Amino acid sequence: MNAADYMILELPSREDNVALARVVVGAFAARLDFTLAEIEEIKVAVSEAVTNAVVHGYRESPGVVRIQAHVDDGRLVVSVSDRGVGIEDIAQAREPAFSTVPERMGMGFAFMESFSDELSVESMPGQGTTVRMTKRPQHRTVG
């Protein structure tokens, strides 16, 4: 992997940093042949992953959210990691409308899955969570 193929961003686990993560990954993704609509989808997926780390991973405790992105064989791969509380039941957490915070809609994973070609979640209670999303630009037809 050379310097042009990846980025790493670490941010304090504050909700006001979600927009920054979204913009930075969107700018990185724009270097590939994504449509504007696809870049918006990537930005939404990143927003959801970072929000989950802030709201659910760290809850009321401060922490660091790490966002990594790289290009692999023409695909964008984005990982969002935290060292927070972790997820007890990943399958349950991925169900639409499930949330550990009552005032939240519980649609984060549904959006991430919908806007990614592949989504994986690794988590250990008490050790944190890593969400990995991949997306390949759709080939446009001319004419």
CB neighbours (10 Å) of residue 78?
Answer: 24
Catalytic residue among 75, 94, 104, 136: 104
Is 52 noted as a catalytic residue in this protein?
A: yes
Catalytic residue among 22, 52, 83, 132: 52
Catalytic residue among 17, 38, 41, 48: 48
Is 48 noted as a catalytic residue in this protein?
A: yes
Q: Residue 106: which region, alpha, beta or left (left: phi > 0; alpha: psi -120 to 50)?
A: left
Are the C-beta atoms of 111 and 32 separated by less than 8 Å?
A: no
Active site residues: 48, 52, 104
